[in-house]
């Protein structure tokens, strides 16, 4: 079904990443915590869907879940113990953009929601 959708201009992705960490010394007690991140994305080919040559739309939604090892163990750290945990365990719109290529791919215009830590560097067109 994904192949058929991709051939029609809709590329769907989903993934799950998990991180487990343990505190074996320090803090209030020894403890193991697992946390994870679900990522759901859609990339749409504007030419295949509505006839706009060189257009691509992309949206990605992320959900983080789990418990913070640093807080649970009272470690008193200033930085998160794990990369996946952080900025709240909630749904968030991670990417949202439209890119239009011109002059046979020699020029691109990209309109997007810029996230914290995002860059304005030229990105590779998705084909």
pLDDT band at 75 (very low <50, low <70, confident <90, very high): low
69 pLDDT more than 80: no
Cβ burial 107-127 (10 Å sphere, 16+ → b, else e): ebeeeeeeeeeeeeeeeeeee
Q: What is the mean pLDDT of residues 52-65?
A: 93
Q: What is the mean pLDDT of residues 76-103?
A: 76
Residues 6+ apart with CB under 8 A from 10: 42, 43, 44, 45, 49
pLDDT of 126 reads: 47
- Give ∠ CA 34-39-42 in degrees, rounded to 5: 175
pLDDT band at 28 (very low <50, low <70, confident <90, very high): low
pLDDT of 5 reads: 94
Provide the 8-state DSSP code for 2: H
Q: What is the mean pLDDT of residues 86-107?
A: 84
Handedness of CA 48, 51, 53, 58 (dihedral sign): negative
Q: Is 103 left (phi over 0), alpha (psi -120 to 50) or beta?
A: left
12-16, 23-27, 59-63, 108-112 — which is least confidently predicted?
23-27
Q: What is the mean pLDDT of residues 102-121?
A: 76
pLDDT of 127 reads: 41
Which residues is 101 bridged to in the sheet?
A: 108
Provide the 8-state DSSP code for 103: G
pLDDT of 125 reads: 45
């Amino acid at each position: 079904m994904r192949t058929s959708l991709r051939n029609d201009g809709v590329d769907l992705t989903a993934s799950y990443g998990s991180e487990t960490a343990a505190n074996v010394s320090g803090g209030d007690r020894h403890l193991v915590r697992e946390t994870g991140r679900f990522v759901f994305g859609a990339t749409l080919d504007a030419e295949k869907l509505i006839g706009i040559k060189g257009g691509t739309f992309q949206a990605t939604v992320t959900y983080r879940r789990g418990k913070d090892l640093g807080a649970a163990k009272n470690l008193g750290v200033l930085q998160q113990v794990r990369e996946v945990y952080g900025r709240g365990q909630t749904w968030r719109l991670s990417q949202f953009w439209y890119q239009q290529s011109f002059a046979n791919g020699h020029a691109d215009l990209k309109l997007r929601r810029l996230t914290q830590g995002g860059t304005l560097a030229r990105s590779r067109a998705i084909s």
